[in-house]
Every structure is written in C-alpha cells, then in structure tokens.
Amino acid sequence: MSERKRGATRRAVLIGGLAGGLAATIKVVPARATPEQLHAAIRNVVGAAQVRKGRVELIVPPLVENGNAVSLVVAVDSPMTATDYVKSIHVFNEKNPQPNVIGVHLGPRAGKARISTRFRLADTQTVTAIAELSDGTFWSATADLIVTMAACVEGL
C-alpha cells in the first residue's frame, strides 16, 4: 500500500518534471520564423494593395539537398506590351534571417517576364513570389521546399 503510494508520487513528480522541461524547451528555442518581418517586407512592397493568387509561376526544386544554392525561376503570365507589362517581381522567404530574397524591376522591353537566379535557404520553408503589374495589381505564388542541408547556419 505504502509502496504503491510512493510509486504514484514518483510518477507524478516525473510527469511534472517532464512537462516542465518540455515547456522550458519550447520557451528557450529561438524562433527563426519571423512572420512579422515577412509581412512587413511584403507590405513594404505592395502597400495597402490586395495580393491575389495566380498569374505567377514559381519554379523551385521541391527537395533541396544543399540550401547554399537553390535554383529559382519566376515567370509571370503577361503579354509584356507597352500598356500591359510586369513592373516588378519580388521574392520572399519565411525562415531565413531576412525575409527578402530579390527584387527585380522590369519594363515592356523585357519581352518576357521570366527571371532566374540562385538563392539560399536556411530551413524547410515556404517561398513567396509577388509580381506587380502595370495596372497596379499584385499577383503571387508560393512554393514549399524541403531543405536537408541548410545555408547560413554553419560556422567557419
């Protein structure tokens, strides 16, 4: 009887300790995700305008082995005429130390709204591309990437 009671107490103590430890861990781990910074960066570009999904194609590999150089292609569905063209394309990430990736300014002379570059990824995350059209509308696309080896975090 007394042994059972002692066992229960020990279990309670263990569970309590475990829960406390878990809570402490959650509190201590710094959040790399910066949704506020990301929203601020996007708002900085689009202002108060509404961003709609579509017209933008974001071509990235779904599985990234090395986050130090990831190929990125953004293509926007636009006729690229003098009156209807893509003004700019901005790419944002979710979990790198900084939300911006690249900002590109185009004009009707581009002929084709398609850009390619290589970028870094610090973690498995979602990448967003936003295009500003000459009529003032904003269109976006997102892509999820799984990163096995992250960039930015390793020392020298």
Partner 1 sequence: MARPLINVPAKVKRGQVFEIKTLISHIMETGFRFTTTGGRIPRDIVTSFSCRYNGEEIFRADLYPAIAANPFIAFFTVATESGTLEFNWIGDNGFAETASAKITVE
Closest CB to partner 1 among residues 72, 141: 72
Compute CA distances 130 → 5, 16, 27, 90, 116, whole Å: 63, 47, 33, 5, 15
Q: Identity (one letter) of the amino acid at 52?
A: R
Q: Hey, which residues does 76 pair with through a beta bridge?
A: 56
What character string, x for contact with partner 1 (CB under 8 A) and - otherwise, covers 36-75? --------------------------------xxx-----
Closest Cα partner for 72 from 111, 38, 121, 107? Answer: 121
* Contact status, residue 97 vs residue 60, Cβ threshold 8 Å: no
The residue (of 9 and 98) whose beta carbon lies closer to partner 1 is: 98
Half-sphere exposure of 58 (CA within 13 A, CB side): 23
Q: In the set 54, 62, 136, 155, which binds partner 1 (CB under 8 A)? A: 155
Closest separation in Å from C-beta 136 to partner 1:
19
Interactions with partner 1, residue window 90-149 (CB under 8 A): 93, 96-98, 100-107, 109-121
Q: Which residues bind partner 1 (CB under 8 A)?
A: 68-70, 93, 96-98, 100-107, 109-121, 151-152, 154-156
